[in-house]
Structure 1
Amino acid sequence: MDGLTMNGVLVMHPSGVFSEDSMLSMWRDISVCGNVYALQDSHSAQQQGNRVESESDVLQEGSLINLCGVNLPWQTLEGLLRTPTLQQLEGLQQEINAALLQCPVDFSTLAFPSLNPAKGDGEAAALGNLTEDVGQDDRQAGSLRSCSSSDCFSKVMPPRKKRRPATGDDLSAKKSRHDGMYRKFDSTRIKTEDDMFSSKRCLEWFYEYAGTDDIVGPEGMEKFCEDIGVEPENVVMLVLAWKLDAQNMGYFTLQEWLKGMTSLQCDTTEKLRNSLDYLRSLLNEPTNFKLIYRYAFDFAREKDQRSLDINTAKCMLGLLLGKTWPLFPVFHQFLEQSKYKVINKDQWCNVLEFSRTINLDLSNYDEDGAFTFSFRASVVGRIC
């Protein structure tokens, strides 16, 4: 076959080329990867039709791709803000679809020319089955022949069985199936377009807080926290930053926002509010907590420093361990009285391991062990 169309999709010859005895014809309103072709009434033009001047082979921002009668715009995230409005798209879609070749009420059979004698007998036999019912006059390249709906159905549909009278059990079973199907349908149809994640809506949401540099800074962050009903120093903000993989405390970039909010499927303030409990629950999972804890060190430190200053470290440790580690008040006092000015990453990780493995009475603590903090002498009197 040289090519056939099905609902606006062009399917090429299996070998990827047209047969030697035919050339590309002109097609009507068939869009393949952004190129639009026209379909002649004769279906047998000997030269390729002129391409629409406004179309090109290169997909670019705003290109329309027609798949099975549905027009889809090709977009990048950066171009979402320049996306046409829904009304503009609908108008353009109606204009394009108005010229699309419509399928008739009855079926149409596509007849193909005879095969090249050089082709194998197996291929000829396979394709011959497709044209055995087509009259000799219809065997011209690309010609269309109409047949009635009943004639086509009789060839593909099995004979209908006689219906037997329904019994009481049958009616009960039918009602049960109907109720089950209704419940299933009812549970899915309540989802609206607003429930589905929208990158465009997420982008618009971002710019409610971002500045001209495409970054949510301290002022935007304060407004953001106020809108979602969370204090900036709340630990859930640290979990959110971890989800966004934010690199700097107090700042969200556009890329971080889109990546994290897409993962959370949040594109509005309300959706994020409804996800706060989920974010808090991640702290209760040991594996996730460890990942968040390790992330917090790099998130909070100055990027030109390899260590975390002691004051920031005390705040972050209080945020992460203050409510779950009974010894934290003692450890915090130890840091207050110590001469430490910074904490490196090994020490930071050791604090978490210490909180998980050392008994509350320090009975299994070894001052000569692997832990880089040595504070038994200063606190043992307050614990024992």
Structure 2
Amino acid sequence: MPPLSSVQRAAVASFVSITGASEKSATRYLKNTGYKLNEAVDSYFQSNAGASSTTKDTQLTKLFDDAEEDPKDSLGADSSMAYLTSIGVDLEGASLFLAMELVQAPTIGEITRTGFVNGWKAQPAAEAKIESQKQIFKRLAESLGKDRDLFRRVYRYAFVVGREGDQRALSLDNAILYWELLFKKPGMLWIGDTTGTDWLAEWITFLRENWTRSVSRDMWNQTYEFALKSMADEALSFWSEDGAWPGVIDDFVAWYKRKSSEMDVDA
């Protein structure tokens, strides 16, 4: 067998780190997938799907216990942030919400035992090792801005985890902060595909000038749908007065078109 290239050796090392398998097994799975790491890892865990669920529960529970400061069923703010930092989460970026969705956290400053165990069990490579979870999380973060289904899930969960106490809506200040985190790398950039219109900046400017109310779940979710369409159609020709958009988006479109017309006249 010819010696492995540096790229192939790196793939083997990553495979071993993620799965805990031997180098021999890693080489075999990678060779079968043309050294495509993600496909090889998925194939490995599908082949070993018969592993005891109870064992995984026990291992993940122990890892959770190692992360908590007090003997209880949830990590407080300090323990949560320490754990998230240990697996490579940027606490000031979109990856924070990716992590919150992964472990189904009830609030930004809390991680429950149930959410932690079930969230990691749902991952194909759910090994109870910090380094393994760090590698998995890195893969998820790298795909966040490209995988629309993943981003939509994380975006919608940000509303759930970002509310304060028993509030049913987000304060405008918090909503704007979360949009600024989500709509930048590693999240999805809210920028026009053709002329590069910075829709996020326009949206925030409009809200700060014209919106004084809180942000409901419907407004939050519809903003994402509007973002997708506005990136592809910067003329906003998809919008009509008879559409089902929330009133705030109707007002934004009118505001933006009026602003654009005034700029054309000045030019």
TM-score for the superposition, normalised by structure 1 = 0.46
User: Which residue in the other structure is 2:190 paired with?
Assistant: 325
Going by fraction, where is strand more abundant, 1 or 2?
1
Q: Tell whether the 8 Å contact from 1:322 to 1:329 is kept in structure 2 after alignment.
A: no
185, 188, 204: which is aligned to 2:62?
204
Residues 235-280 of structure 1: CA deviation (Å, up to 9, x unaligned): 2231222122222222111111111122231312101111123222
Change (3 A) 1:231 1:366: same
User: Which residue in the other structure is 1:275 paired with?
Assistant: 136
Change (3 A) 1:206 1:353: same
Going by fraction, where is helix more abundant, 1 or 2?
2
Displacement of 1:292 after TM fit?
2.1
One-letter amino acid of the counterpart of residue 139, structure 2: Y
Aligned equivalents of 2:244, 2:109: Cα separation in 1:
34
Change (3 A) 1:190 1:206: farther
Displacement of 1:363 after TM fit?
4.0
One-letter amino acid of the counterpart of residue 169, structure 2: S
In the alignment, structure 1 residue 188 sits paired with structure 2 residue 53 = no
Change (3 A) 1:214 1:226: same
Displacement of 1:303 after TM fit?
4.7
Q: Tell whether the 8 Å contact from 1:322 to 1:328 is kept in structure 2 after alignment.
A: no
Q: Tell whether the 8 Å contact from 1:321 to 1:328 is kept in structure 2 after alignment.
A: yes
In the alignment, structure 1 residue 238 sits paired with structure 2 residue 97 = yes
Residues 117-140 of structure 1: CA deviation (Å, up to 9, x unaligned): xxxxxxxxxxxxxxxxxxxxxxxx
Aligned equivalents of 2:147, 2:78: Cα separation in 1:
32
Q: What SS class does the counterpart of residue 66 from structure 2 fall into?
A: coil
One-letter amino acid of the counterpart of residue 219, structure 1: D
Structure 2 alignment gaps of length 5 or more = 1-21, 29-50, 192-198
Equivalent positions of 1:126-275 (< 5 A) are 187-188=24-25, 198-210=56-68, 211-264=70-123, 265-275=126-136
Change (3 A) 1:186 1:218: closer
Displacement of 1:216 after TM fit?
1.0
Aligned equivalents of 2:86, 2:26: Cα separation in 1:
30
Aligned equivalents of 1:283, 1:189: Cα separation in 2:
28
Aligned equivalents of 1:245, 1:189: Cα separation in 2:
31
User: Which residue in the other structure is 1:177 paired with?
Assistant: none
Aligned equivalents of 1:362, 1:255: Cα separation in 2:
44
One-letter amino acid of the counterpart of residue 208, structure 1: D
Aligned equivalents of 2:120, 2:91: Cα separation in 1:
18
In the alignment, structure 1 residue 306 sits paired with structure 2 residue 168 = yes
Q: Tell whether the 8 Å contact from 1:307 to 1:345 is kept in structure 2 after alignment.
A: yes
Aligned equivalents of 2:149, 2:59: Cα separation in 1:
32
What percent identity do the matched residue pairs reach?
A: 23
201, 221, 224: which is aligned to 1:352?
224
TM-score for the superposition, normalised by structure 2 = 0.64
Displacement of 1:217 after TM fit?
1.2
CA radius of gyration, larger in: 1
One-letter amino acid of the counterpart of residue 318, structure 1: E
User: Which residue in the other structure is 2:147 paired with?
Assistant: 285
Aligned equivalents of 2:172, 2:23: Cα separation in 1:
56
Residues 44-77 of structure 1: CA deviation (Å, up to 9, x unaligned): xxxxxxxxxxxxxxxxxxxxxxxxxxxxxxxxxx
How many pairs does the alignment contain? 197
Displacement of 1:221 after TM fit?
1.8
Larger RCO: 1 or 2 (CA < 8 Å, sep 6+): 2
Aligned equivalents of 1:251, 1:218: Cα separation in 2:
6
Change (3 A) 1:377 1:272: same
Structure 1 alignment gaps of length 5 or more = 1-184
Change (3 A) 1:369 1:298: same
* Worse overlay, 236-245 or 366-375: 366-375
Change (3 A) 1:333 1:199: same
Residues 302-346 of structure 1: CA deviation (Å, up to 9, x unaligned): 352221111111122222224511111111111222233311111
Q: What SS class does the counterpart of residue 207 from structure 1 fall into?
A: helix
Displacement of 1:366 after TM fit?
3.0
Aligned equivalents of 2:107, 2:166: Cα separation in 1:
12
Q: Tell whether the 8 Å contact from 1:240 to 1:279 is kept in structure 2 after alignment.
A: no
One-letter amino acid of the counterpart of residue 253, structure 2: R
User: Which residue in the other structure is 1:105 paired with?
Assistant: none
